Chain A
Amino acid sequence: MSKGKIAIVGIGEVPTGWYPERDEWDIIYDSCMEAVRDAGINKNEIEGVLCSPAVGQARLDSELVFGKLPEELGLKGCKDIASVNAGGSTSANLLRVAEQWISSGTAKIVLLMHATKYSSIDPNDLIKTFATAGMSMEWEYPFGTTYNGMIAMSTQRFMYENNITAEEMASIPVAFRKWAELDPNAMFRKPLTVEKTLSTRMISTPLHSMECNMLADGGAAIIVTSPEIARKICKTPVYKLGEGSRYCQATITQRTSSMMDRMYREAAAAAFKQAGLSIKDMSILELYCAYSLLMPILLVTLGVCKNGKDAVRFIAEGNTWPGGQLPCSTIGDALSRGHTGSGVGFAYLVETVRQLMGKAGDRQVKDCKYVMMNCAGGSGMNMIFEIFGRNS
């Protein structure tokens, strides 16, 4: 029996970066039109539209929630539109809603999109938005919490528990950059070294500026339909084969590393079980890490490495780089790609499809059959693993 209940048949994406002259609706036009053309469909065949939240951009977010997109783009066959917000785990939830719309007959073909423009927002307002987004205004914010600070604390703890040096941690942004060097849509593409990473300004110990992500503009779109329609209209449809998720608490003080380890393992096991596949079947792991820390943690969770020390060594030795034995995070993660609010998980979804369709250019992983990706919202309030493949 076929496991795939939905298939992706088209993708579109604009470069991520700092583009103050590019209007947010330019991003939406360009990425949605590219996805429709890539799918080879007529725009009026789109029956449903699902939008990501424009985090920290109240104007654009309200325009999307108020249903402007189908009108602006002239989608004459559109039956409904909705916004879905699960922070950094939005892309996986857009797909869940798309699956329901498709299986229930609400819409045969659905457009999913994300657009973000931070370059026109005052930097102090951006810092404030992300210092307070989701933070407890009572128990965290008064102490001067920042996202960099939260991740910095967890990173320091990880280094302490696993006896890892600053040099070893700095090999992770380098591994991300190896892929970004090959990615025309990445924000930072110049070659990076461990020495260079450690020579940048300290932001929040142990994180240097090159280990903290930069907010950026960007956007993308995909076309989703049923496997039956996909086989008729697309030579290389990409099927969603399995997923697993766990809720991990919203606040850092309510978590422990052993709780997170258990939740991640359970979520991954559920995804593998649903897909009927194992880690050995994966051609690529599209690990959405946001910062360096999650990459070694996920490599341990997924059973690729025994412990944190091994995982960092595995990365430093180039095993996750282009040409390595297990390509990981082939858009260079948020550190090299740029952080687009709720959009990094969407960018990973687009890249997953691109690799499985064989359209990844210089980054193409040979004979790519199955890809696992993950995404998470908030400061790690959940963890979702998804598995995609060329065969249903």
Chain B
Amino acid sequence: MTSCPTISHAGIHCRDVTKDYGTGTSRVRALQGVTIDIQPGELTLLVGPSGCGKTTLISILAGTLDATSGDVDVLGVAMNELSKEAKSAFRAENVGFVFQQFNLLPALTAAENVAVPLVIRGFSRLDALRLAKQMLEAVGLGDRCDARPRELSGGQQQRVAIARALVHEPHLLVCDEPTSAVDAQTGHRVMELIRELALNPERVAVVVTHDARVYGFADRVITLEDGRVASDERKHASCP
């Protein structure tokens, strides 16, 4: 496996980041010189209307997409300079993902799904499952370890996804619309859990959301419009 670049806890720093899709006349500029700094130990929301570039930005921050230009420094690592393999290793080591559609593997049990990031990092199956069960206990699903995703409610699936995102103790937690596929009450509990996890001083947490009801959980809300930062509002967060 490719060795992972050494990281620091310096948060995220983007300078004049642009991203173009397509070429020639069909070229679309999704990000137009985005400059932001995100500190560890706080919960940052990326919000904005559809097509504003927030998914593109979060993909670049998570290392799943390359910026067209600009500097992207994540946890002290210049992402632009990493090879494809090194980025994979960086993500495996440092990034936890919570996806909008959960993206749990339907053939695996909850515990096996949570164990996947550990297996990718090279843990044995037994060790990975042991740690995964502990993580499921931590998110309140200790009794559903052997359930398959289809046997779980939307909220339970999202909690499994959160457990999967955190089982390898990543320094960057990236959540894409974590409340969009669950009801309001479950969404509230999911955000409570994410906020609790984001307060770790060694962890950077970025959440992309459309859901205005969760703004209250954030320490900071960055609004994107037409690929630019339209506002950057710091809040005094408290659980609503």
Chain A bound to chain B: no
By a beta-carbon cutoff of 8 Å, the part of chain A in contact with chain B is none
